[in-house]
Amino acid sequence: MAAGASTPYTDLVPGFILAGIGMGLTFAPSSTAVLADMAPDDHATASSTNSTIREIGVALGVAVLVAVFRANGGTLTPGGYNSGLRAAILTGAAVVALGALSTIWLPRTTARAPATSQVPSSAN
């Protein structure tokens, strides 16, 4: 890791851009996957449940990373910030890697039966 007390902000921007792209490529497809097998009447419930669980995950993730940061001597000073940063970033990277690895066990198709188009019979 190249972050230090004297690291300029511009050196961190490429990582922020990659993180933003990664989140953009993750959140929309995950929402689509959640709604794929839901009846239209259940979309609101499924979408709000998905959003709530995601927000709980974010809060839990921030809490865990702050705990790791503080446990490794991190403080909110230029010198102290560096102390806990490495451990927190490595912990976050390990969790992301485990999440990526866990996708091996996700189903590749949905359980939904293929849609059949039924043309209404015309009354003679």
Question: What digits encode the pLDDT tens for the residues 31-46?
Answer: 888 888 888 899 999 9
Number of domains into which the chain is organized: 1
Is 8 within the bounds of a domain?
no
pTM: 0.70
pLDDT value, residue 18: 92
Domain annotation covers residue 28: yes
Candidates 48, 53, 19, 47; CA nearest to 33 is 47
For residue 107, being part of any structural domain is answered with: no
Position 121 in a domain = no
Q: What is the length of the chain? A: 124
Give the confidence band of 2 by pLDDT, cuts at 50, 70, 90.
low
Task: Identify whether 19 is part of a domain.
Answer: yes
* pLDDT score at 29: 85
Distance separating alpha carbons of residues 124 and 121, to the nearest angstrom = 9
pLDDT in tens, 68-123: 999 999 888 877 888 888 899 999 999 999 988 998 888 777 666 555 555 565 65
In a domain, 124, yes or no: no
Supply the DSSP string of 14-39, one letter for each residue. Answer: HHHHHHHHHHHHHHHHHHHHHHHTS-
Buried/exposed 88-117: b ≥16 CB within 10 Å, e otherwise = bbebeeeeeeeeeeeeeeeeeeeeeeeeee
* Domain presence at residue 108: no
Q: Tell me the residue range of the domain where 42 lies.
A: 13-97
Contact 22, 107 (CB under 8 A): no
